[in-house]
Amino acid sequence: MSKVRVHISTSLDGYVAGPNQTMEEPLGEGGEGLHDWVVPLKAWREASGMEGGEENVSSDVVREEYANVGAEIMGRGKFGPAPRGPWGDDPWKGWWGDDPPFRKPVFVLTHHEREPLTISDTTFTFVTDGIEAALERAREAAGEKDVFIGGGADIINQFLAAGLVDELELHVAPIILGGGARLFAGVGPDLKLELLRVVEAPGVTHLKYRVAKE
């Protein structure tokens, strides 16, 4: 059965990006520290089209995260920098250059209509009618595979609050960001979770939860 999954790196104080996100620091001040654990890994580098890298106990966690994903949903803040608003005549084409690492259908939530954009093996489809519509399209595109909610915090929080997520994995980095984009903002006690697995790894702790359904 196809699942809706969230896997996200978070600081110990619950931020998935630091304060003051800019073009130069898309993850905000200190936000790169969220990914210090994953960037050296072969599993991550392979998926990002890079050579080399190491193996450690996080490798299997990352490979499991990437496996069996048939479509991704992301917010406009993950797709591109502020300011938002209409796309304009020479619209932003994503952070990822001419070979985006997704290689699957990506649905970008936005308030502004735009034609689909195909770059190499990835097609970005822009969805203006909300998270449920985006999920419906992503599920259809994913078929038997899972749908990955790629972030940022705002989109993940909307999906969690709406009860639309099946599995949630937090990669908890041992850092304090002190501000930024906060996971779980606006998500209330109706979200019931059950721990599936804990993995202690170099520079990170992986906590995987199942969302309990009625």
Question: Could you give phi then psi for residue 126, rounded to 5 degrees?
Answer: -100, 125
What single DSSP character describes residue 105? -
Q: Does 8 bind a copy of itself (CB under 8 A)?
A: no
Q: 158 CB contacts (<8 Å, ≥6 apart)?
A: 131, 186
Q: Does 16 bind a copy of itself (CB under 8 A)?
A: no
Distance in angstroms (rounded) separating the CA atoms of residues 87 and 75: 14
Structure tokens at 66: 């990437």
Helix or strand holding residue 138 (H, E): helix 130-142
Q: Does 13 bind a copy of itself (CB under 8 A)?
A: yes
Among 1, 143, 188, 214, binds a copy of itself (CB under 8 A): 188
Q: Does 164 bind a copy of itself (CB under 8 A)?
A: no
Q: Does 200 bind a copy of itself (CB under 8 A)?
A: yes
User: Which residues between 29 and 48 bind a copy of itself (CB under 8 A)?
Assistant: 29-30
Q: Is 31 left (phi over 0), alpha (psi -120 to 50) or beta?
A: alpha
Distance of closest approach, residue 188 Cβ to a copy of itself, in angstroms: 4
Among 106, 142, 172, 181, binds a copy of itself (CB under 8 A): 172
Contacts with a copy of itself, residue ranges (CB under 8 A): 12-14, 18, 29-30, 170, 172, 174-178, 183-184, 187-195, 197-198, 200, 203, 205, 207, 209
